[in-house]
Structure 1
Amino acid sequence: MEEQLKTLIKVWVSAIICISYCYYFPSRIKAGLPRLFSVLPICALFGLLPLFFSSIHLSGSTALFFSGVGNLKLILFCFDQGPLYPLPSNLFKFVCYTCFPVKLEQNPKSQNRFPKWLFAVKVALFGVVLHAYNYKQSLPPFLKLWLHPLHLYLELEVLLTLLKVFVTITLGCEVEPQFNEPYLATSLQDFWGSRWNLMVSSILRVGVYYPVRRVCGYLMSSDYAKLICVFATFLVSGLGHEVVFFFLTRELPTWEITLFFVLHGVCTATEMAIKRTEFARRWVVRPAVSRLLTVGFVVVTSGWLFFPQLTRSDVMERRASEILLLIDFVKTQVFHFI
């Protein structure tokens, strides 16, 4: 644990130095390919940072923060796009916006506010899920199907909410939540576009959806272009997840995760096309039914394509063990300090 923490400090110091370079030098270069060439070495380094860790969480979070979201932000910044444009007023904000999957809240009053006790319930439920791995063999198949999706969602929700609070306090400004109660999604379009991992969705929208739509707009009608853009966005997301999964498992891609996102891209595009038909306008599905169908589809397909590679490598079990070990480590340090 202590060795991994030392490595974490070294990695973050290196990353901050690299981001400082991007703030002071490439930002003064003309947007476009010249700025991109000046940033590419940093992107290459960010792509290697997760390899310095043996911890699942440190490797995975570094892959998400730097190799994935961070690199996408820097590439968009090279073309005056994304959350790093316009250039933040100071280096500290630039570092936070680059390193963390956060985005300034544009209109706080319009956001749906859920009670604070709901977060406490999620933390408690997350604790139950972590300990459920000790009884995994005796769990009924139905609960096993929900175990990994619940674990992934609750862990991301809890950790990214704590990160949101940290960034809000340090920067003195509100940032958007990463999740918007995805279990309330009434469609795949609602789930992926408005409720799940909103920072990544926002970046993919700017970096993939809009450029592809501009190109397709010259070749086909607007309706068909939207469907192609949705599929392209999911495909890129799948390939990005393959990179993250490589750092988590240290195994060659099996392309199951790409197939998962391709499947959801096709289904989401099909759903969007059906919504435009006269039949869909007449046939109104109750929200409770649509939520059950949407979440059920996500859970079943994730059990089929998303989690098998992680299950074969015991990644989810190791993630649970690391969290429990971290809690014990913190307890030991606190009691030792007292």
Structure 2
Amino acid sequence: MEGELNNLIVLWVLTTLSLWYCYRISAKISKGFTRLFSIFPVLILLLILPFNLHTFHLGTSHVVILSWLANFRLLLFAFDQGPLSPLPPKLYLFILAACSPYKIKRNLVKIKKGETLFQLPSLILEAANKAALLVFLFYSYNFKQYFHNHVLLILYFFHTYLNIQLLLAVAAIPAQLLLPGVELEPQFKTPVRATSLQDFWGHRWNRRVSDTLRSTIYDPVKTISTRIIGRRWASYPAVMATFVISGLMHELIYYHIIREYPTWEVTWFFVLQGLFVDLEIFLKKKLVANGKFKLHQAISGPLTLANIALTAGCLSYTQLLRNGADEKIINEFNVTVEIFKGSA
């Protein structure tokens, strides 16, 4: 554990220095491929740095934050787009905008001296609630031999959801401390109330990742496709390209967890989701827009969740379970508990 903490310190020192270089040097280079060339070493460094962390909770969160979000935002920054453009007035704002898994609004409300930050206590309470639920889940894993495999898959899905929520709640606390009055948009928007796959992936599930993919993949591909195949069909390849890239980034996350050569199952999960979303868009244009047919939300909602649950159960989680990732995560939690007991 001591070695892991040392690796974490080294990671953030190198990350800070890399982003300082982007802020002080690359920002002065003209936008476009020249600036992209100047930040290319930073992109490679942020891609590989998280792999020096070997624990699940530290490692996977940094793969998402640095290898995915920060790198994609720096790609946009190279062309003067995204949350890093226009250039923030302070370096720490640049680092927050690059690495934060939440959306920082430009218009900040100034808090007078002596006033209370109302959102900070709620963030701490939310983090504590998610941590308590995760502890309960970990405790239930001690009896996993009595659970049906389908029940375990449901528990692992909620584990993923709670883990992401906890990470986001903890990551939002520094923004509230450094940016008094900042308004943070919720990362999830009640995913279980999704009425379609478009609604789930585009507006409810992990919205900051969706925003990043929309800016870096969907919009450019749609613009190019519009010139080639016309506006009517341009969204279909854009959707598919977005889901393929998302699948590849999830393969990177999975590789960090299991350290095994990818079997591409998780990529196929996202490819299937892309095909389903494209089919959904096509049917909506043909049937719903013309008023010929429309499913009630009471039917489309459960069908959406069933689709995701079935494909995720067959493809997304199978690889992790086959390589014993669940046992690794449970053992990691037990070791952490023992460390806290020993220091108490």
- TM-score w.r.t. the length of structure 2 is 0.88
Contact 1:104 1:174 (C-alpha < 8 Å) held by counterparts? yes
Structure 2 distance, partners of 1:147, 1:27, is 45
CA 1:324–1:161: 2 relative to 1, 3 Å: farther
**Structure 2 residue 277 is the aligned partner of structure 1 residue 268:** yes
* 2:115 match: none
- Selected match of 2:198 from 169, 180, 189: 189
**Structure 2 residue 41 is the aligned partner of structure 1 residue 44:** no
Structure 1 distance, partners of 2:30, 2:199, is 37
The farther-off stretch of 116-125 and 181-190 is: 116-125
CA 1:176–1:277: 2 relative to 1, 3 Å: same
Q: What 5-or-longer segments of structure 2 have no aligned partner?
A: 109-118
Deviation of 1:122 (Å) = 4.9
Structure 1 distance, partners of 2:153, 2:15, is 38
Structure 2 distance, partners of 1:8, 1:17, is 14
Deviation of 1:158 (Å) = 2.0
Map 1:318-333 → 2, pairs under 5 A: 318-330=328-340, 332-333=342-343
* 2:296 match: 286
* 2:114 match: none
- Selected match of 1:254 from 239, 242, 263: 263
Q: Helix, strand or coil for the counterpart of 2:187? A: coil
- Selected match of 2:145 from 131, 137, 143: 137
Deviation of 1:73 (Å) = 0.9
Structure 2 distance, partners of 1:119, 1:3, is 26
**Structure 2 residue 306 is the aligned partner of structure 1 residue 316:** no
* 1:166 match: 174
Contact 1:256 1:306 (C-alpha < 8 Å) held by counterparts? yes
CA 1:119–1:63: 2 relative to 1, 3 Å: closer
The farther-off stretch of 279-288 and 27-36 is: 279-288
CA 1:122–1:59: 2 relative to 1, 3 Å: closer
CA 1:170–1:107: 2 relative to 1, 3 Å: closer
Structure 2 distance, partners of 1:121, 1:182, is 18
Percent of aligned positions with the same letter in both sequences? 37
Structure 2 distance, partners of 1:141, 1:248, is 21
Deviation of 1:75 (Å) = 1.1
Structure 1 distance, partners of 2:326, 2:232, is 40
Structure 2 distance, partners of 1:164, 1:290, is 33
Contact 2:217 2:241 (C-alpha < 8 Å) held by counterparts? yes
- Selected match of 1:241 from 232, 237, 250: 250
- Selected match of 2:228 from 219, 231, 234: 219
Give, as a single letter, the amino acid of the residue that structure 1 aligns with 2:16.
I
Contact 1:133 1:317 (C-alpha < 8 Å) held by counterparts? no
* 2:17 match: 17
Deviation of 1:162 (Å) = 2.3
Contact 1:178 1:196 (C-alpha < 8 Å) held by counterparts? yes
Give, as a single letter, the amino acid of the residue that structure 1 aligns with 2:45.
L
Deviation of 1:331 (Å) = 5.8
Q: What 5-or-longer segments of structure 1 have no aligned partner?
A: none
Structure 2 distance, partners of 1:271, 1:67, is 31
Aligned alpha-carbon RMSD (Å): 2.4
Structure 2 distance, partners of 1:328, 1:166, is 28
